[in-house]
Amino acid sequence: MSKRFGDTVAVDDVSFEAPAGAITYLLGPNGAGKTTIMRMIAGLARPSAGTVVVNDSGLLAFGDAIREIGFSLGAFSRNPKHTAEQHLRWQARLGGVPVDNVERVLALVGLEPAARRSVGKFSYGMLQRLGIASALLGDPKTLVLDEPANGLDVEGTLWLRELVTGLAADGKCLLVASHNLTEVEITGDRIVVMGKGAVLSDTSKDDLVAQGSGPRRLESAYVELTRGSVEYTAAGGER
């Protein structure tokens, strides 16, 4: 796919595959095009060129897309007066899935005790959990998650680690944008590294780690790949 905003090329002829039964991480500096790609997959932005294929079909071909693909693209798309339960029930009805699924996903993300609390009083980490619950409502084959670990405490990070690896073990496809290289190294199967809208590397996690050196080999390999793609650097560091 490619995406232009006026004279700015945000995504430049990007092509990659996220396989079933694996966690594919999308890495890159701020402005690399990761979020734009995820918005195009979700149908929130139209590619200037190219196509998106989900489960061997286009997104618009699904009569019940919520059963095919789930998205968590941000923690703030909520009515602050709704409870967590109300928010998910509304989404279930909109997607055509049983409202009984709400109780299941609330338990899965650990929000059962807060089910009747207004989401306007949620912490950022709780909103992240709610977004993941929304993505899981239809028990989809594919999940697209944008920075799901942001705002999570240590316990939340460990919970997310177990969740995503368990979903992949069940055969689901996960595409995850992240800056958390520690979690990427622990849970990743494939890694796509982007810079300035283009793919810099598309390989297995093990192969990318093997390109690095020193005690933090994934970090080393990532820094080397993105050295010429960082838009903002501090005076105290050298890239």
Task: Look up residue 37 and give its DSSP letter.
Answer: H
Identify the pLDDT of residue 55: 85
HEC assignment per residue over 192-231: EEEECCEEEEEEEHHHHHHCCCCCCHHHHHHHHHHCCCCC
Instruction: Name the least confident of 5-9, 10-14, 60-64, 139-143.
Output: 60-64
Q: What is the DSSP string of 84-122?
A: HHHHHHHHHHHHT--THHHHHHHHHTT-GGGTTSBGGG-
pLDDT band at 234, cuts 50/70/90? low
Confidence check: pLDDT of 192 > 60: yes
Confidence of residue 75 (pLDDT cuts 50, 70, 90): low
pLDDT at 238 over 50: no
What domains, with CATH codes, occur in the chain?
3-55+141-226 (3.40.50.300), 78-139 (no CATH)
164 with 109: CB under 8 angstroms?
no
Q: Which of 20, 21, 19, 1 is nearest to 11 (CA)?
A: 1
The string of pLDDT tens digits covering residues 151-179 is 899 999 999 999 999 999 999 999 999 99
Residue 188 has what pLDDT? Answer: 97
- Tell me the per-residue pLDDT of 77-130, one tens digit each, with 9 for 90 and over: 678 889 999 999 999 998 899 999 999 999 999 999 999 999 999 999 999 999
Mean pLDDT of the chain, nearest integer: 92
Torsion of CA 7, 49, 189, 174, to 10 degrees: 100
Q: Which two tokens stand for residue 162?
A: 């177990």
8 Å CB contact between 66 and 96: yes
Please indicate, yes or no, whether the overall pTM of this predicted structure exceeds 0.85.
yes
- Of 41-50, 77-86, 169-178, 189-198, the least confident: 77-86
Give the per-residue pLDDT at 151.
87
Length of the chain: 239
